[in-house]
Amino acid sequence: MTTRYLTAKVAGSLATLLFIVCFNFFLFRIVDSDPVANLFRGRNLTQSQRAELTKQFGLDKSTGGQFVDYLKQTAQLNLGRSYTSNQPVWSEIKDKAGPTIALVGISAVLSAVFGVLLGIAAAWRRRTKTDYSVTGFSMATFSLPDFWLGMILLTIFAVGLGLFPTGGIEDPSSTATGLAKLPDQAQHIFLPALTLTVAYLGEYTLVMRSSLLETMREDYLVLARAKGLRDVLVRNRHAVPNALLPVVALLAINLGFVLAGAIAVEAIFSWPGLGLATYEAIKGPDLPMLQGLFLVFSLSMIVFNLIADLLYGYLDPRVRTA
Amino acid sequence: MNAVAAPSPRRITWLRRRRAVAAAWREYRHHLPGMVGLGILVIAVAMALAAPLLADPDGLKAVNTTDNPAWASPSEFGPLGTDNFGRSVMTQFIWGSRISLLVGLAATVLAVVIGSVVGIVAGFFGGRVGGVLMRITEWFLVIPFLPLAIVLAAILGPSVENIILVIGITTWPQPARLIRAQVLTLRERDYVDRSRALGASNWHLMTRHILPNVSPLILANTTLTVPIVILTEATLSFLGLGDPANASWGKMLDNAFEFGAVTLEAWWYFVPPGLGILLVALAFTLCGTALEEILDPRLRDRRA
């Protein structure tokens, strides 16, 4: 990969990061015009207490001064305190990132793998019953609200049949520690992971299908057939690796998106991750928490976009020189 | 001397466009998935328009339904049972279709209008103006739009207008990027150069040459944006940011979850609205894909 391509992409991401950080400041200044009143809602503050707090929070400074403070604190990962728990926002986010990464990571990998396989099957058997049913199923999963699917699965398999727990990450009464927790956690993650996998499956299937159909028209595939290669070899060695390019990019971009996209599903399954934290912060409204979450979600988008760009540049030499 | 007056250029253009639309429709008619989608949409729109004839809006208010049983299943209270307040789910479903469709269409139009203006201007001018516009578009593409929509909706407060505004201003970058790419290729066409040589202004070029040529793309893109918007609306409403006075299908799902329909296994409260969202979103996807294939001949081979 050329250094020029690399520098351009990294510089672009840094510029975007700077934009997001500034945007985050001004967006929430519009919302949270009086943090002192919000933080001490329902308590009577004397005039001098108010003035003291305003000074303590640095709110007596000019907008410019506050902006500089904000930049310094953000750089030190000081994102303020949650209105509801009164804990530092950063430590709250750190605690909740694990469950979300586990849930989203598993679902992203599963949906990509199964989506690619279904997409290959549909494209290879174009205009057959397989193709029609796979395409129809993918379009349907693409069109359904993921949390609605979660509600249905929850009603049938957890409430109705009692096969799975109705929510949370582990049985609170369990005394297991370390690795012994895994079977219990696997049971808890099953339904939310299934929901997200099905919800994101369709996009991969459709992208893989159309990408493979496009690849199959290329000259080198005609040549591969003409020199007498078996169909399976043509497909697995020549067509699929090249058709995978857009899927790789989609996976990287989706990983950035899905982190925030799991909000409603986490709420349904009370999965103690960033999504549930967002859901609760909205109900508050807990503005410092929302602001921190917004920053983290944006950051993950930037990082995964950069990964997608670099990966694409690495896999497809044509992109680098463009 | 020619006895028959030559038709005016305007009339020629009009005839040509009418023929193009008629030809596209002839092809669309034979596109089975596209027709299925269109059929679902016609039914959904008819239901939304005829809501006052189909169900009494008084049934949406809990004070009027105190005589009804709460959480009655469809077999006890036809046709779709009742919710925790004894309100008929059917009534809510019919009236909810209005809000879901209204938000879906209005927010899409808003997003596509902003996206088209940005895309056409950025593509047409290129250079510094285009570069700056595209940078802004890319920044907005990176901001995760659901959290941004959540934050904006939380600021503005829950109302139908605000939801439309919020979704519109978070969805425009995708159409903008797509349309700009198309305009970049159109700008280089000979007829644009020729028109410019004849003294056409930028405004004339953009509105008379570029816009008509990107409008098929805009139409297909609009149709494909609606499902995304409808799903976003459902999610925002589910997160408690929907208008409580004008409940959409998404708001029904929020109410169902909030009042414990899942633990009570009251499936009749949340299956119909979710199914409504699924069918309408799917219908728009089917129509949009069909339009894309008909309007863009390169995609014809892709057709299932």
Residue A81 in this model has a pLDDT that exceeds 50: yes
Inter-chain residue contact B138 with A16, CB threshold 8 Å: yes
pLDDT in tens, A121-165: 999 888 889 999 999 999 999 899 999 999 999 999 999 898 888
Asked if B147 lies within 8 A of A31 by C-beta distance, the reply is no
Q: Taking CB atoms and an 8 Å limit, are A145 and B256 in contact across chains? A: no
Q: Looking at A10-19, A108-117, A256-265, B39-48, which range is the least confident one?
A: A256-265
What does the pLDDT average to over A77-106? 87
Q: What is the pLDDT of residues A286-305, one digit of tens each?
A: 888 888 898 888 888 888 88
**B181 Cβ contact partners less than 8 Å away, ≥ 6 residues apart:** B123
3-class SS letters over chain A: CCHHHHHHHHHHHHHHHHHHHHHHHHHHHHHCCCHHHHHCCCCCCCHHHHHHHHHHCCCCCCHHHHHHHHHHHHHCCCCCECCCCCCEHHHHHHHHHHHHHHHHHHHHHHHHHHHHHHHHHHHHCCCCHHHHHHHHHHHHHHHCCHHHHHHHHHHHHHHHCCCCCCCCCCCCCCCCCHHHHHHHHHHHHHHHHHHHHHHHHHHHHHHHHHHHHHHCCCHHHHHHHHCCCCHHHHHHHHHHHHHCHHHHHHHHHHHHHHHHHCHHHHHHCCCCCHHHHHHHHHHCCCHHHHHHHHHHHHHHHHHHHHHHHHHHHHHCHHHHHC
User: What is the distance in angstroms between the CA of the first residue and the CA of the last residue of chain A?
Assistant: 13
- What are the mean pLDDT values of chain B's consecutive 10-residue runs (304 residues total)? 71 88 90 93 96 86 80 85 88 94 96 94 88 87 82 82 92 91 88 90 90 89 92 92 89 92 91 96 93 76 47
Chain A, 172-211: which have a CB under 8 Å from a chain B CB? 210
**Residue B229 distance to chain A (closest CA, Å):** 11
DSSP string, B90-151: HHHHHHHHHHHHHHHHHHHHHHHHHHHHHHHHHHHH-HHHHHHHHHHHHHHHHS-HHHHHHH
Most B CBs within 10 Å: which of A147, A166, A212, A270, as the mutation test of the B interface? A147
ipTM greater than cut 0.85: yes
Tens digit of pLDDT for each residue in A232-244?
Answer: 888 888 888 888 8
What per-residue confidence (pLDDT) applies to A42? 60
Residue A35 has pLDDT above 70, yes or no: no
Residue-wise pLDDT tens digits, A201-233: 999 999 999 899 888 888 888 888 888 888 888
Q: Looking at CA atoms only, how far is residue B148 from chain A in angstroms? A: 7
What are the phi and psi torsion angles at A81 (to 5°)? Answer: -110, 145
Per the prediction, chain A carries an average pLDDT of: 85
Which pLDDT belongs to residue A313?
80
User: To 10 degrees, what angle do helices B145-156 and A287-315 make?
Assistant: 160
Interface test with A, best of B259, B262, B263, B300 (most A CBs within 10 A): B262
B277, A145: Cβ pair inside 8 Å?
Answer: yes
Determine, for residues A278 and B147 on separate chains, whether the beta-carbon distance falls below 8 Å. yes
**pLDDT attached to residue B304:** 42
**How many residues are recorded in chain B?**
304
Nearest CA in chain A to B224: A143
Rounded Cα–Cα distance for residues A96 and A287 (Å): 17
Find the residue in B nearest to A254 (Cα): B144
pLDDT band at A34 (very low <50, low <70, confident <90, very high): low
Smallest CA–CA separation between B304 and chain A, in Å? 5
Does B240 contact A290 at a Cβ distance shorter than 8 Å?
Answer: no
Q: Is the pLDDT of residue A187 over 60?
A: yes
pLDDT at A38 over 80: no
- Of all residues in chain A, the percent with pLDDT exceeding 90 is 27
Residues of B in contact with A166 (CB under 8 A): 263
Q: What is the pLDDT of residue B144?
A: 78
Which pLDDT value is given to residue B81?
87
A257: which chain B residues are within 8 Å (Cβ-Cβ)?
144
Task: Give the one of B139, B144, B253 whose C-beta lies nearest to A148's C-beta.
Answer: B253
Average the pLDDT over A171-175 and give the result: 76
pTM of the model: 0.88
